[in-house]
């Protein structure tokens, strides 16, 4: 919908704008429409990038960067933009989870996230899932280590059976008590 103005057109437009500013020529209805569209797009782009920046907080590496187009009225209008944020992992899995949540929130902050915003949010979700998996693995490794602490030689613990005074016989193959009258 929006296209960059080629340099030759921009130069011609600048010459026309200097004439307009001198009061020699007014904008045509089509030029007024284009200028109004560019003004609307500029406001939309600035609000979109401001939402990213506000949600990113300390993750923001820079402020918003804009791509401009010169309008028929001689003004520069933002037609695109970006905010650079730190998407590296945290020092610990827990820190990575928190950081991934903040990255996802920053990516999805605008009312209408772009395809690139959605891709960053998906990457943050994946980063969070990997950190959760790492925590789960650490817990499993810890449980495994705890179960190996039973004896000095790390041999299995001896079998302990339950005493049942009514039982006359214990059938180890069937794993239940068998009462017999003898």
Q: What residues does each domain of the chain span?
A: 1-86, 87-147
Closest CA relative to residue 51, chosen from 107, 104, 1, 9: 107
Please tell me the distance from the alpha carbon of residue 110 to that of residue 102, in angstroms, as a whole number: 14
Query: What tens digit of pLDDT does each residue of 136-161 get?
Result: 999 988 887 766 655 455 555 555 54
Band of residue 9 on the pLDDT scale cut at 50, 70, 90: very low
Q: Residues, the chain, total? A: 182
pTM of the model: 0.65
């Amino acid at each position: 919908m929006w296209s960059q103005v080629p340099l030759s057109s921009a130069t011609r437009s600048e010459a026309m704008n200097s004439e307009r500013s001198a009061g020699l020529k007014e904008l045509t209805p089509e030029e007024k429409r284009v200028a109004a569209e560019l003004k609307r797009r500029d406001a939309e782009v600035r609000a979109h990038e401001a939402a990213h920046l506000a949600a990113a907080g300390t993750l923001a590496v820079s402020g918003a960067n804009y791509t401009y187009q010169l309008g028929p009225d001689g003004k520069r209008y933002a037609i695109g933009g970006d905010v650079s944020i730190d998407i590296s992992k945290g020092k610990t899995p827990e820190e990575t989870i928190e950081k991934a949540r903040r990255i996802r929130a920053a990516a999805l902050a605008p009312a209408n996230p772009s395809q690139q915003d959605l891709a960053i949010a998906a990457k943050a979700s994946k980063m969070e899932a990997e950190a959760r998996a790492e925590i789960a693995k650490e817990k499993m490794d810890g449980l495994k280590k705890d179960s190996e602490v039973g004896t000095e030689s790390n041999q299995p613990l001896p079998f302990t059976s339950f005493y049942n005074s009514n039982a006359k016989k214990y059938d180890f193959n069937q794993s239940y008590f068998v009462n017999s009258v003898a």
